[in-house]
Amino acid sequence: MQAHDRFYKIDKDFRNPYARDRDRIIHSSSFRKLEYKTQVFLNQEGDFFRTRLTHSIEVSQIARSITSHLGLNESLAEAIALAHDLGHTPFGHIGGDTLDECLKDDGFKNGFDHNFQSFRVVSSLERRYKNFDGLNLTFATLEGILKHSYPYKKSFLPPFIDENFNLETHPSIEAMVVDRADEIAYITHDIDDGLNSGLIRFEDLKESPLIEDILQKVKDEGIGEDEDEMFRYRFVSHLINHLVYSLIYFSKDKIDNSKIYSASLSSKSELPIGFEPTLESEIKKLKKLLFKKLYQHKDIMIKMYAGKQAIKGLYIGLHEEPKMMPKFYLEQLQSRSKHRVIADYIASMSDRHALSFYNEMYGRL
């Protein structure tokens, strides 16, 4: 028997198109790198803090639960959720903001946008086929990755994005679900990590009526705040459940898959996926509270400042000597702007790769 006779002939893929998209995303190198990219706490801070990888998995789980209950396409939401952060730089949002500043200071008015970068990763930078670039994903998944984040109205269409992606309209309702699942995930797990790290306490969050209500639910179970780990776990569980069920209840009668929603809608309340106005307002207040108490905590600010300097240093050094980049990126210099190629390379790095390369580049061995 010859070797090729031992393999089954596959006439038709047993997966649906969006499940195939999901599998291609999961097996990409960019997805694996998310394990070492910052959410709020740097990867080396501890094994129990979220990273971009665990965040993406949590967003996927929440999005699947919501779409399943609302009769939407669970596989499409899952694919968009797993890919939505592939374009993030090292060091969280500060890394992307710094790279954006560097590009704009050099005259690139469009700068850096992590949603557009996620699209570039799956449509161009990942190389898995001989005759074309990208992961060969469906249009719906690509559009969801590109436009999943509110506000949906974008001011421009980058030249690498096909004109068929109309930025005047929002993509699928599944992409809207991913947007809100992303919000639920990062609010709840940032609180969890903040409490676990000791940077914030429940007392810091009690300004929020939403937090007070959830705390009471945990206490009603007979669990005291002195039972730190269990109390925190039950709190986060109740908070996620409350937000998910509230979203499902408010959205279930508003969904119309036949309707095309404008990307320029001025209010989230006009969309079919969301929370009732009072809860929407409470969530907004909670996010402001987290920004003040956690994201601007001095320990976080110190780490983010270090990350910002690393991004700047890498950008400057690679611009002066691009031959420090791997062969894959050097080859692209023949047909693309040096600045954009450098941005692609930096965005692809994990936190520890960026810090290690920065230290090596500037002699801090």
Cis peptide before 17 (omega within 30 of 0): no
Residue 292: the pLDDT is 92
Residue 38 lies in a domain: yes
Domain span holding position 57:
20-361
Is 12 inside a domain boundary? Answer: no
Contacts of residue 16, defined as CB under 8 A and 6 or more positions apart, other chains included, come to 75
Beta strands in 106-245 (DSSP E): none
Number of domains composing the chain: 1
Residue 10 lies in a domain: no
Residues of the chain with pLDDT under 70: 1-13, 40-49, 152-160, 226, 258, 261-267, 364-365
Q: Is there a contact between 199 and 294 (Cβ–Cβ < 8 Å)?
A: yes
In a domain, 111, yes or no: yes
pLDDT of residue 97: 95
Q: What is the pLDDT of residue 365?
A: 44
Residue 2 lies in a domain: no
Residue 286 inside a domain? The answer is yes
Residue 344 lies in a domain: yes
Instruction: Read off the pLDDT of residues 137-159 as tens digits, 9 standing for 90 and up.
Output: 999 999 999 888 877 666 666 66
Q: What is the pLDDT of residue 61?
A: 97
Cβ 359 vs Cβ 310: under 8 Å? no
Cβ atoms of residues 148 and 158 within 8 Å:
no
Name all contacts of 228-232 with Cβ < 8 Å and 24+ positions apart: 232/192, 232/195, 232/196
- CATH no. for residue 343? 1.10.3210.10
Rounded CA-CA distance 104/130 in Å is 34
pLDDT at 137: 95
Q: Which residue has the tokens 């995303």?
A: 25
What does the pLDDT read at residue 225?
76
Q: Is residue 319 situated within a structural domain?
A: yes
Q: Can you tell me the distance from the alpha carbon of 173 to that of 185, in angstroms, rounded to the nearest whole number?
A: 18
Q: DSSP states of 109-121 as a string?
A: TT---HHHHHHHI
